[in-house]
A = this chain, B = another copy of it.
Amino acid sequence: MKRKVTLKQIAKELDVSISTVSKSLRDSPEISEDTRQKVQAFAKLYNYKPNLIALSLKNKKTKTIGIIIPEIVHHFFATVISGIEHVANEHGYNVIVTLSDESFDKEVINMEMLANGSIDGFIMSLSKETQHKKDFHHIAEVINQGMPVVMFDRVTSDILCDKVIIDDNAAAFDAVQSLINNDFNKIALITTVDYVSVGKLRTDGYIKALRTNDRKVDESLILRIEDIDNCEEAIEKMMQEVKPDAVFAVNELFAVTAIKAANKLGQKVPEDVSVIGFTDGIISKYSSPSITTVSQNGIKMGGKAAKMLIDRLESEEEDEELYRTEVIETHLVVRESTPTL
């Protein structure tokens, strides 16, 4: 039985990265002549076929949309997929989902796999590692070959394509402004490390709200979490040491963990400390107290992304290069973890 050799196998065999293999096969000037020749010779020997999008595009439409998301155990991405599915199905399109697991290599591999004739276009949100590396050649390549890509939520200005985002900066600003309006004085921020684009934008919105109101930005009130799965200890430590009267968390896991930490420290929510989260997921809805959040409206974001992709796929004008960035409205869903704001 003849087995197709994969990008991963070539990389392993030659002891280079997947990115190097991918770039070598595209004659990228970033790769040394020596490496390029070695990779190309190996690929030829094992009959490796890079994707032939341009060719396949001329011949057929699959009526299938490929989605690449960073992780699946995450309610926001699940709601975006629901939104994409709904609009795609209405227009007669099927949907295929793949996961990058926040890994650059997996993002490249999945893109390669799907671009190989299975789908007509991509809807994707960047993996953390891709954002960190700032290596987007795989996406540029797919677009260059004529396959449309729509990015949502975690996007980059380095790639020209259609995008759907929320205004993370403004949404965070509004949430923190409403806390300031209600006379909260020590507003803590629980956020991600800065290379996650949405975390950075939400952090900027928090800082802007403080500055606009002539408040001092106190670094001891800002907690940047690297490992989301092990955030309990850091959050509890911050809550104990600085005793904030309000917490703005950039996702709902940080928000619910802040509530658990408050309970453990004998602080009542919302009486002693109010908590606002981000992403209107099931944790926010079912936790006790239920959590006031900035609703991202994943369903709407997914629906909009699907519509933009389908419009582009079905457009007759091939040279239309006016990419759009749609901004989805957010709003604060007030629940039990804050007073009425």
A contacts, CB < 8 Å to B: 1-4, 6, 8-9, 59-64, 72-75, 78-79, 81-82, 85, 89, 92, 94-99, 101, 106, 109-110, 113-114, 118, 256, 260, 263, 282-283, 286-289
Question: A263 — which chain B residues lie within 8 A by C-beta?
Answer: 288
Q: Choose from B62, B63, B101, B286 the contact partner of A256 (Cβ within 8 Å).
A: B286
Residue of B nearest to A6 (CB): B63
Majority secondary structure of chain A interface residues (helix, strand, loop or mixed): mixed
Question: A96 — which chain B residues lie within 8 A by C-beta?
Answer: 96-98, 113-114
Evaluate whether A73 and B63 lie within 8 angstroms (CB atoms) in the complex, with A118-B118, A283-B286, A287-B286 already known: no
* CA distance in complex: A94, B97 (Å): 12
Instruction: Taking A6-B92, A73-B82, A81-B99 as given, write out 8 further A-B residue pairs in contact, using a Cβ cutoff of 8 Å, ordered by the A residue number.
Output: A6-B63, A64-B113, A74-B78, A89-B106, A94-B110, A95-B99, A260-B286, A283-B283
Q: Choose from B72, B79, B97 the contact partner of A98 (Cβ within 8 Å).
A: B97
How many copies, total? 2
Please state if B110 and A4 are interface contacts (CB–CB under 8 Å).
no
Instruction: With both chains docked as a complex, state the minimum distance between the C-beta of A80 and any C-beta of chain B, in angstroms.
Output: 10
Question: A73 — which chain B residues lie within 8 A by C-beta?
Answer: 75, 78-79, 82, 282
Evaluate whether A8 and B92 lie within 8 angstroms (CB atoms) in the complex, with A78-B73, A81-B72 already known: yes
* CA distance in complex: A81, B69 (Å): 13
